[in-house]
Amino acid sequence: MENYVVSARKYRPTSFETVVGQKSITTTLRNAIKQNKLAHAYLFCGPRGVGKTTIARILAKTINCTNPTESIEACNECDSCRSFNEGRSFNVYELDAASNNSVEDIRNLIEKVQIPPQIGKYKVYIIDEVHMLSSAAFNAFLKTLEEPPSHAIFILATTEKHKILPTILSRCQIYDFSRVSITDTINHLETVAKLEGITIDRDSLNVIAKQADGGMRDALSIFDQVVSCCGNNINYKSVIENLNVLDKEYYFQLVDHFLEGNVTESLLIFDKILQKGFEGQHFITGLSNHFRDLAVSIDPQTLQLLDSSEDVKKMYQEQSKRCEALFIYQALKICNDCDMAYRQSKNKRLLIELTLIRLSQLKDSKKKYSN
């Protein structure tokens, strides 16, 4: 039986060109290599799963390549590239600071730094989760980080930049990684699905991308989970059931009932949602997001802020035409107030039901004021 490799590892970028969502960072690093202006220490900051360690490895591989391409990519053919690809390179040393955070660990690293590379120009030291180092370990590392040998480059990666000592920050070139956009995530997942022979629609990919919250590694893990459950033909209904996501259709129905002033149907839909096992705060947050999406759908100029497929965008546009702008803004305020009060409320269900009643009466109250 062939060993299964998860998509996050199987489709991990191996060149600057294949990195998703970090164009400005990869362009800057390529230019630094091209102009021979490499710093001796880099700090890669950002959320988990956005490519910090991946780009660190690509940078380490590329700067030691003896025959880089014109676009500043590793050739994958020289001895250095082959040893890196086969996992036997002595030029790249990775340390997980989460489990190796003592002074002794850093002293061992400092001793290794003095040894020059056998093949290639640089030895690259990648320290992941660097914020986990103890204060004593940071202090032991300071002098080496400030004045390393010419052949040594340090790449520090962290999800919590605020925990890094200012003295460390001042010695590094800092790169802030952004969350991968929903559009970039969907496009990448679509490519992976085609390579794997999996049929999946963009609405389903949109759900996966939103669940991943800007992390490409998380998106690929969720994608694998959905494939394991649903097979090679995946549709929207099966995705929301597998990931326990509330169907957006409920929100469209609710807004229609609010516009009609139909309190009864609004409460019955909420009861149905609770019976499906969804939490009240999950529901009210989703309703707030729905009104936000309606708000940006009013004006064609802000429609680009809506991260959805073209079919879903049309649904939002059509419903937004039936809503006055003031109704949407008031509804947003009511939902936001409910979301903020949810944790302190002793009767959470009643709080949301009162919110639904207020939303259902928005149109009527406006008529009273106009009369």
Angle formed at CA 370 by CA 364 and CA 371, multiple of 5 degrees: 90
Q: What is the residue extent of each domain of the chain?
A: 7-176, 182-242, 248-370
Distance of CA 219 to CAs 49, 145, 210, 222, 274, Å?
Answer: 9, 35, 9, 5, 27
Q: Write the single-letter amino acid at 35.
A: Q
Q: Give tens-digit pLDDT for 86-144.
A: 888 888 888 888 787 778 888 888 888 888 887 778 888 898 888 888 888 888 888 88
The pLDDT score that the predictor gives to residue 365 is 56
Q: pLDDT category, 1, cuts 50, 70, 90?
A: very low
CATH code linked to domain 248-370: 1.20.272.10
Q: Give tens-digit pLDDT for 7-29.
A: 888 888 888 888 888 889 999 99
In this predicted structure, the answer to whether residue 170 has a pLDDT above a threshold of 80 is yes
CATH code linked to domain 182-242: 1.10.8.60
Q: Write the single-letter amino acid at 236.
A: Y
- Residues of the chain with pLDDT > 70, as a percent, come to 97
**Tokens in use for 99?**
């489990």
pTM above 0.85, yes or no: no
Closest CA to 91 of 67, 45, 57, 68: 57
The pLDDT score that the predictor gives to residue 371 is 40
* Cα–Cα distance for residue pair 97/154, rounded to 1 Å: 13
**Which architecture, in CATH terms, is 7-176?**
3-Layer(aba) Sandwich (3.40)
- 160-184 average pLDDT score: 87
**Tokens in use for 252?**
């469209």
The pLDDT score that the predictor gives to residue 2 is 58
Distance of CA 235 to CAs 74, 87, 232, 240, 250, Å?
Answer: 39, 39, 10, 9, 18
- Mutual angle of helices 362-370 and 325-341, in 10-degree steps: 130
The alpha-helical segments, DSSP class H, found in the chain are 7-10, 23-34, 52-63, 79-85, 103-113, 135-146, 166-169, 182-196, 202-212, 216-230, 236-242, 248-260, 263-275, 280-297, 310-321, 325-341, 348-360, 362-370
Mean pLDDT (the chain) is 86
**Tokens in use for 42?**
């880099």
Q: pLDDT category, 81, cuts 50, 70, 90?
A: confident
User: Residue 19 phi/psi, 5° resolution?
Assistant: -70, 135
